Amino acid sequence: MTIKVAVIGASGYTGGELLRVLATHGNVELVHATSREYLGKYIGWVHPNLRGFYSNLKFGEVDVDRISDKADIVFTNLPAGASLEIVPRLIEVGMRVIDLGPDFRLRDPEQYQKWYGREHPHRDLLERRVYGLPELHRDRIRGVDLVACPGCNSTATILTLMPVLRDRLVEAGRVAVDVKVGSSEAGRKPAPGSHHPERANVMRPYEAEGHRHVAEVEQELIEFAGDGLRVAMVPHAVGSVRGVLATAHVWLNEGVEEQTIWRSYARYYGKEPFVRIVRGGVMRYPDPKYVLGSNFCDIGFAVEGRIMRGALFGAIDNLMKGAAGQAVQCMNIMLGLDEVTGLMSPPISPI
Ligand SMILES: NC(=O)c1ccc[n+]([C@@H]2O[C@H](COP(=O)([O-])OP(=O)(O)OC[C@H]3O[C@@H](n4cnc5c(N)ncnc54)[C@H](OP(=O)(O)O)[C@@H]3O)[C@@H](O)[C@H]2O)c1
């Protein structure tokens, strides 16, 4: 079976990573890739790592009718706000859509208004879309026509916290997550803070008083933790190009020990193809360096029994499990393919 795929926003970082993964997937053919800035240019002209792949394909326009004629499924990799206009038109013409942007992640339109500062014009789509985190919503992703993929900070944070909240091992009312992120998270378009002399070697906190990803983290985890859940999240820009490390500081409930946490992670992730529980070895805790280029999320933890505190760690490649890899995992599920198709390559090391 060959599935025909289109990628809208294919010249950016998540779009480029999607093209990289799809190039060796085996069950898909890329039939359309869009860029307004690079319209008419070959793929390898913009993404030099893809030279020799897609040799006959040039960037095309966001032409919904043409895309629906040619493709079975479409990925949209657009900045906040842009999907609001394009995704509904794709759904209207019968396409199945996997959106990597934030516009359809929040189920509640009031929350969208609060965190994104604009009214959501497509409440009907919010009701039927599924949040694209397979470890939580695999069964619902299967039959749906619109998947809203999580943000990369949210993916690392939710996967790190879900088991311990679900098993009521930690105080849900005070969870503090410190997230370190590489520069590719900000996308390809340059900004004053992302210009190399300003961005290289930084350890810079940002959006410390309410990062938008908190909204989706609470939305997804409240179901397991109850209404008392309170998550504080402070992202830090660091000098690497790829990678997210989420460190969740939690206070342990009575009787919780290292083994209790270990068993909780093993229960929920023991059979997950892309979650690895890290313990021991030369590198004792998860580090994004050891998942780069892969769809894995490495999870680990430390327990300080003296003060009943836990530090829980989740490491991903923001462009893979945080974006393109996760999106392809969702596509595989939607299409009834083996979930790991095209994704089971080990991380690159050393890098
Ligand atoms: N970077 C990450 O680590 C990451 C992880 C998870 C989720 N995301 C989310 O994924 C989305 C894409 O991120 P990115 O990092 O790939 O951004 P990016 O590098 O800036 O790429 C954005 C792409 O969208 C196209 N585009 C921009 N505005 C458009 C419009 N109005 N209509 C049609 N095409 C438009 C751009 O190409 P042209 O301007 O040439 O058309 C480009 O191909 C964002 O919502 C981001 O928040 C990013």
Mean pLDDT calculated for residue range 316-344: 98
Q: Could you give the C-alpha distances from 27 to 4, 30, 106, in angstroms and in order?
A: 9, 10, 31
Report the nearest atom of ligand 1 relative to the CA of 10. 43
Q: What is the pLDDT of residues 196-220, one digit of tens each?
A: 999 999 999 999 998 999 999 999 9
pLDDT given at position 282: 81
277 membership: H or E segment, kind and range: strand 275-277
Q: Is the sign of the CA dihedral 80, 81, 85, 89 positive or negative? A: positive
Confidence of residue 322 (pLDDT cuts 50, 70, 90): very high
Residue 330 appears among annotated catalytic residues: no
pLDDT given at position 281: 82
For the sheet with 28-33, list strands across it. 28-33, 3-8, 73-76, 96-99, 146-148, 130-131
Percent of the chain clearing pLDDT 70 (strictly above): 100
Read off the tokens for 72: 């079975």
Residue 226 has pLDDT above 80, yes or no: yes
Residue nearest ligand 1's atom 32 by CA: 82
Amino acid at 154: S
Using the mean position of ligand 1's atoms as its centre, give its distance from the Cα of residue 327 in Å. Answer: 14
pLDDT given at position 247: 98
Q: Domain spanning 153-318 has what CATH number?
A: 3.30.360.10
For helices 325-334 and 13-23, angle between their N-to-C axes, nearest 10 degrees: 50
Using the mean position of ligand 1's atoms as its centre, give its distance from the Cα of residue 199 in Å. Answer: 19
Q: What is the pLDDT of residues 266-291, one digit of tens each?
A: 999 999 999 999 988 888 999 999 99
Q: What is the DSSP-derived secondary structure letter of residue 217?
A: H
137 membership: H or E segment, kind and range: helix 134-142
Ligand 1 cavity residues, CB under 6 Å: 9-15, 35-38, 62, 77-80, 82, 100-102, 151-152, 184-185, 187-189, 318-319, 322-323
Residue 84 has pLDDT above 90, yes or no: yes
Which among 149, 152, 297, 330 is annotated as catalytic?
152
**Other beta carbons less than 10 A from residue 102's beta carbon:** 24
Q: Domain spanning 3-128 has what CATH number?
A: 3.40.50.720
Burial category of 124 from C-beta neighbours within 10 Å (exposed 0-12, middle 13-18, buried 19 and up): exposed
Q: What is the DSSP-derived secondary structure letter of residue 322?
A: I
pLDDT given at position 287: 97
Residue 1 has pLDDT above 80, yes or no: no
Residue 105 has pLDDT above 80, yes or no: yes
pTM of the model: 0.98
Using the mean position of ligand 1's atoms as its centre, give its distance from the Cα of residue 281 in Å. Answer: 38
Return mean pLDDT, the chain: 97
Confidence of residue 315 (pLDDT cuts 50, 70, 90): very high
pLDDT given at position 279: 86
Task: Give every CB contact of residue 263 below 8 A, 6+ residues apart in sequence.
Answer: none
Residue nearest ligand 1's atom 10 by CA: 101
Q: What is the pLDDT of residues 132-187, one digit of tens each?
A: 999 999 999 998 999 999 999 999 999 999 999 999 999 999 999 999 999 999 99
* Mutation pick for ligand 1 pocket among 59, 75, 100, 147 (CB with most ligand atoms within 8 Å): 100
pLDDT given at position 151: 98
The domain segmentation of the chain, as residue ranges, is 3-128, 153-318
* Mutation pick for ligand 1 pocket among 36, 98, 115, 244 (CB with most ligand atoms within 8 Å): 36
Task: Give every CB contact of residue 16 below 8 A, 6+ residues apart in sequence.
Answer: 10, 46, 47, 49, 50
Using the mean position of ligand 1's atoms as its centre, give its distance from the Cα of residue 82 in Å. Answer: 9
Confirm if 287 and 350 have CB atoms less than 8 A apart.
Answer: no
